[in-house]
Amino acid sequence: MRTVCQFFEAERDGNAIHLFAPGGGSPLHSFTFPRQPKPDGLCLSDYVLDPHEGARDHIALFVVTAGEGVRRHSAQAKESGEFLLAHALQAIAVETAEAAAEWLHRTLREDWGFPDPPDLTMQQRFTAHYHGKRYSPGFPACPNLDDQQGIWKLLRPEEIGVSLTENMMMTRKPASAPWSFIIPTVRSSQLRTTARNAFVLWSAPGTGHRLDSRKIRLFLA
């Protein structure tokens, strides 16, 4: 499993979210999200807090990949007539990547100062009953796959072997690059608009919790 992640300062501006280096005056990149087409419709930017006494909210982005060489091994199994093995290898890699994303999400919540309750069950974890949500380009709340370009600009996931095609799909599969909010009220069903890869979390300014803004790369066997 390989991952790259980084925290960024964040400000909202209408339906847009601007990301900054620590103390930066100009945005490093901005993402614009759709708003629900109804009265009082919601947008992901609504869950970023306004600056408070000079302190900004924060977002963490990440990209995670697992199952290096799985395509080659799966193809070899298929050519040998072992179709069940070929599908099983792909399925295991996909689930490993998703489990890695969930593990990193939990780790970031802990680093942020929002650890999961000690009595949280696996069923509750599987159904996201914790403080925060994660979203990826392609989710109904952020359907624009071109947002992948911003994620790649900020994180450079090529360093862990994940790149983008001209159609904004990740070339190294399985991989995941999501957004997640550290706001108790966020629910996926609240943010349905029309229509999933980096990772986003927000925390409340003024919590006194210091965040390391350096980019982190992990390589786990």
Per residue in 7-36, pLDDT (tens digit) is 889 999 999 999 999 889 999 999 999 999
| Stretch 146-167: mean pLDDT | 88
Task: Please give the span between the terminal C-alpha atoms of the chain, in angstroms, as a whole number.
Answer: 6
Q: How confident is the model at residue 179 (pLDDT cuts 50, 70, 90)?
A: low
- Cis, peptide link before residue 174, omega less than 30° from 0: yes
Which one has a higher pLDDT value, 170 or 10? 10
CA distance 5 to 217: 7
CA distance 92 to 98: 10
The answer to whether the CB of 146 falls within 8 A of the CB of 168 is yes
Per residue in 102-122, pLDDT (tens digit) is 888 888 888 877 888 889 898
Q: Which helix (H) or strand (E) holds 148?
A: helix 147-155
Owning domain of residue 97: 2-219
Q: How far does Cα 15 stand from its chain's mean position? A: 19
Q: Which two tokens stand for residue 143?
A: 């359907």
Lowest mean pLDDT, pick from 68-82, 112-126, 194-208: 194-208
Partners of 164 in the beta sheet? 170
- For 215, half-sphere exposure in the C-beta direction (CA atoms, 13 angstrom radius) is 16
Q: What angle do CA 12, 15, 21 make, to 5 degrees?
A: 35
CA distance 184 to 104: 19
Total domains, the chain: 1
CA distance 51 to 178: 24
CATH code of the domain containing 80: 3.10.196.10
Q: Which two tokens stand for residue 173?
A: 């599969």
